[in-house]
Amino acid sequence: MEESPSKTGDGAAVDSLHRATEFRPFSITPPHMRAFHLAWLSLFSCFFSTFAVPPLLPAIRRDLRLSDADVGAAGVASFAGSILSRLAMGPACDLFGPRAASAAVSLATAPAVLSLAFVSSPAAFVAARFLIGLSLANFVACQFWMTSMFASNVVGVANGVAAGWANVGSGLTQLLMPLVYSALAARLPSSTAWRAAFTVPAIFQAGTAIMVLAFGQDHPSGKYQRIRKHDPSVNPLATVLLGGLRNYRGWILGLTYAFCFGVELTMDNIIAEYFYERFGVDMEAAGAIAASFGLANVVSRPMGGVASDAMGRRFGMRGRLWSLWPVMTMAGVLCFGLGRVNTLWGSITVMCCFSFFVQAASGLTFGVVPFVSTRYLGVISGMTGSGGTIGAVFTQYLLFSGTNNMSTQSGISIMGLMMIICALPITLIYFPNSGGMLCGPSTQIQSYDEPNHLDEYQNLLPSTT
C-alpha cells in the first residue's frame, strides 16, 4: 500500500524519501522542479551542440574538402563517442551524483565544440565530432536525476518530458545554426563565418553546466556526496559496475532501447534524403518533413512516460511492461510499412504515426528503468542509454552504409522487422514482487538476488487507494 504523501514548505507533495509525488512542468520551485528544468536544459544544450554540424556541412565541406566518406565517418564517430560516455556516465552518477557528473561532461566537451572553429583537416573534423558526441552522456545523468527527485507514480512522465524536451535541441539547431551562419557571413568570409558560428553552442553548453552546478541539487535530501558519506551501503566502483552488469533486465532494456531510440537516430540521418530521392521533393520540403519527425518528441516521448505511469498506478509493473511491448511492436509494424508505401502523402502519414510510436516507446522504456535496481540505477541507466546509440550505429552500418545493393526503402522495412523481433524479450522481464507480462508475483521472494533491498520494489505494486 502506498504511503499518504506529505507536503514540503512550498506545497509540493512528497513521499517518505522526499521525492515529489506530483509533476508540475511549468513550476520552477526547488528542489524538484528546478532540478527538472536544469536537467532537460543541460541535455538540450548537448543535443544542440552535437547536431549543430549537419546544417552547416555545405560550407564546412567546401572549406575542409571533405569527402562523403569523411562526412560518414564523422557521423559514426559522434555516435561512437556517446556509446562510451553513456556507459561510463552510469557508474559516475552512482559514485558522484547526477549534478556533478552532468556538469563535468558538459564542461569537458564544450571546448571540443569550440575546437571546430580551428580544425583544418578531415581527421581533425572527425576527432572533434567524436569528442562532442561524448556530451550525450548527459542523457544518463538527466534520467538518473529525475529518478532521484520524483516518486514512482510520476517518474515515468518526468523522465519522458525531460528527455522529450531535450531531444528538441537536435531539431532546433537545424533551424538556428544556418541563421547564425548567415548573419555572420554577411560581414565575414564564409570560411570564417561557419567557424565563428560554433561559439554559440559552445557558450550555451558551458553556461547550462554552470547553472547546474550553481542552482542544482542532487537529491531532495541534499548533496549526493553528503548522503553517500552517511550511507553504510555505499559500494566501490567495481562492485557497482559488476552488480549492474549482472542484472539481465538491464540488458533486455538496452536491447529494447537500441531498437526504439537507436532507430529514431538512424531515421534522423536518412529520412530527408529518403524523401528527396524517392519522391523527388526539393531539399527544403525534404528538410521540413524530416524536422517534423524529430520535433514530434515534444509530445510523443512524454506521452510514453504518462502512459507508463498510468498503467503502473493501475496494474503495477505488469502494466508498464504490457504498455511497452505493444507500442514497440506497433512502431516496428509502421516502420515496415513506411518502406512499402509508394505515395508521398501516404509515406508522410505513415512516418508521422511511426514517429509517435517509436518515440513513445523510448519514454515507456525509461518508465521501467528506474525500478530495475535502486542500488545500481546509474549502471542500468547507462546500459540502457548506450544501447540506443549502439542500435543507431548497428542499423546505420548494416542497412544504410551504401556497402550493399539494398534500397533505402528495403532497409527501412527490414529495420521494422528487427524492431518487432527485438521487442519479444520484453516478455522475459520479471520482478518477484510484481511479476512480468506472462507471470504473476512470486511467493518465494527470498530467492531474489538482492534480498536486502526488497523495499525498492514495494512501489511497483498497484495502488490500493
Predicted confidence band at 290 (pLDDT cuts at 50, 70, 90)? confident
Q: Which of 24-38, 271-285, 361-375 comes out lowest in average pLDDT?
A: 271-285
Does the model's pTM come out above 0.85? no
pLDDT tens digits, residue range 342-370? Answer: 999 999 999 999 999 999 999 999 999 98
At residue 57, does pLDDT exceed 50?
yes
Instruction: For residues 167-181, give the mean pLDDT.
Output: 82
Of 102 and 50, the structure prediction assigns the larger pLDDT to: 102
Helix H or strand E encompassing 7: strand 6-7
Predicted confidence band at 426 (pLDDT cuts at 50, 70, 90)? very high
367: nearest Cα among 428, 297, 302, 308 = 308
CA distances from 367 to 101, 207, 215, 418 (A): 22, 30, 27, 22
169: nearest Cα among 266, 291, 261, 73 = 291
So what's the pLDDT on residue 308? 93
Distance between CA atoms of residues 185 and 192, nearest Å: 8
Of 348 and 373, the structure prediction assigns the larger pLDDT to: 348
Of 225 and 49, the structure prediction assigns the larger pLDDT to: 49
Q: Which of 173-177, 195-199, 246-250, 298-302 comes out lowest in average pLDDT?
A: 173-177
CB 96 within 8 A of CB 144: no
pLDDT tens digits, residue range 76-110? Answer: 788 888 888 988 898 888 888 899 999 999 999 99
Domains of the chain from N-terminus onward: 27-217 (1.20.1250.20), 246-440 (1.20.1250.20)
Predicted confidence band at 70 (pLDDT cuts at 50, 70, 90)? confident
CA distances from 376 to 156, 232, 245, 371, 379 (A): 18, 15, 9, 10, 5
What are the DSSP E strand ranges found in 334-444? Answer: 430-431, 435-436
The residues that bridge with 150 in the sheet, in sequence order, are 20
At residue 8, does pLDDT exceed 70?
no
430 in helix, strand or coil?
strand
Instruction: For residues 327-346, give the mean pLDDT.
Output: 96
Of 16 and 115, the structure prediction assigns the larger pLDDT to: 115
So what's the pLDDT on residue 2? 41
Neighbours of 333 (CB within 10 A): 16
Mean pLDDT of the chain: 85
Distance between CA atoms of residues 172 and 44, nearest Å: 10
Query: Peptide bond before 31: cis, by omega within 30 degrees of 0?
Result: yes
Quick one: what percent of the chain has pLDDT higher than 90? 53
Of 215 and 170, the structure prediction assigns the larger pLDDT to: 215
Predicted confidence band at 61 (pLDDT cuts at 50, 70, 90)? confident
Instruction: For residues 368-393, give the mean pLDDT.
Output: 88
Distance between CA atoms of residues 403 and 105, nearest Å: 35
Distance between CA atoms of residues 349 and 88, nearest Å: 39
Distance between CA atoms of residues 161 and 159, nearest Å: 6
So what's the pLDDT on residue 454? 33
So what's the pLDDT on residue 292? 81
So what's the pLDDT on residue 103? 97
Instruction: For residues 314-329, give the mean pLDDT.
Output: 95
Listing DSSP states for 142-210 in one string gives HHHHHHHHB-TTTHHHHHHHHHHHHHHHHHHHHHHHHHHHHHHHTTS-HHHHHHHHTHHHHHHHHHHHH
Distance between CA atoms of residues 320 and 311, nearest Å: 6
At residue 38, does pLDDT exceed 70?
yes
Q: Which of 237-241, 324-328, 387-391 comes out lowest in average pLDDT?
A: 237-241
At residue 281, does pLDDT exceed 90?
no
Joined together, the cell numbers standing for residue 337 give: 510499412
- Sequence length of the chain is 465
Predicted confidence band at 400 (pLDDT cuts at 50, 70, 90)? confident
Joined together, the cell numbers standing for residue 396 give: 546505420
Of 392 and 462, the structure prediction assigns the larger pLDDT to: 392
Distance between CA atoms of residues 160 and 308, nearest Å: 10
Of 369 and 292, the structure prediction assigns the larger pLDDT to: 369
14 in helix, strand or coil?
strand
Instruction: For residues 385-403, give the mean pLDDT.
Output: 84
So what's the pLDDT on residue 233? 53
Place of cell 522475459: 428
So what's the pLDDT on residue 237? 65
Instruction: For residues 200-223, give the mean pLDDT.
Output: 92
Instruction: For residues 420-427, give the mean pLDDT.
Output: 97
At residue 135, does pLDDT exceed 60?
yes
265: nearest Cα among 76, 410, 411 = 76
